[in-house]
Amino acid sequence: MALPVDTSKIIVLCGGPPQPVVDRVTGEHRTNREGQALFRTEVIVLGAGRPEVFGVRTTTPPKALPIGATVSVSDLTISTFTAKDGGTGVFYEATAIDLAKNVRETA
């Protein structure tokens, strides 16, 4: 199950250029269940606590974004998974990552 994230309460900065999501075993570009290629963009999230850095997967490569630029993450969701080897984890997905139009000032 994918849980939606309310991005109106956080500031998101571009942490690095988009990269293809690559299968660690085969080296092939990974796809989602619909067969669309996945890309990962590192973002820095600023909220009430300490900053967090994580990768957000999208099915279209985000445009070139300057590192440190405030970005808008559309339809951000968080999901958990269990790997074949029994390990578990979390991944973040969005429909798009773009340069933010309305930047909030931080104090």
CATH number where 88 lies: 2.40.50.390
Looking at residue 102, its amino acid is: N
Q: What is the pLDDT of residues 72-82, one digit of tens each?
A: 999 999 999 89
Q: Please indicate, yes or no, if residue 39 is contained in any of the structural domains.
A: yes
Domain membership of residue 107 (yes or no) is no
Q: Which amino acid is at 71?
A: V
pLDDT at 61: 81
Geometric angle at alpha carbon 56, from 11 and 12, rounded to 5°: 10
CB under 8 Å to 3, separation ≥6 — which residues? 77, 78, 79
What SS3 class is residue 78? strand
105 within domain boundaries: no
104 within a domain of the structure (yes/no): no
The CA distance from 27 to 90, in Å, is 21
Q: What is the pTM of this model?
A: 0.84
User: pLDDT over 90 for what percent of the chain?
Assistant: 70
How many domains are contained in the chain? Answer: 1
- For residue 80, tell me if it sits in a domain: yes
Cross-strand partners of 45: 12, 52
Instruction: Determine the pLDDT at residue 105.
Output: 46
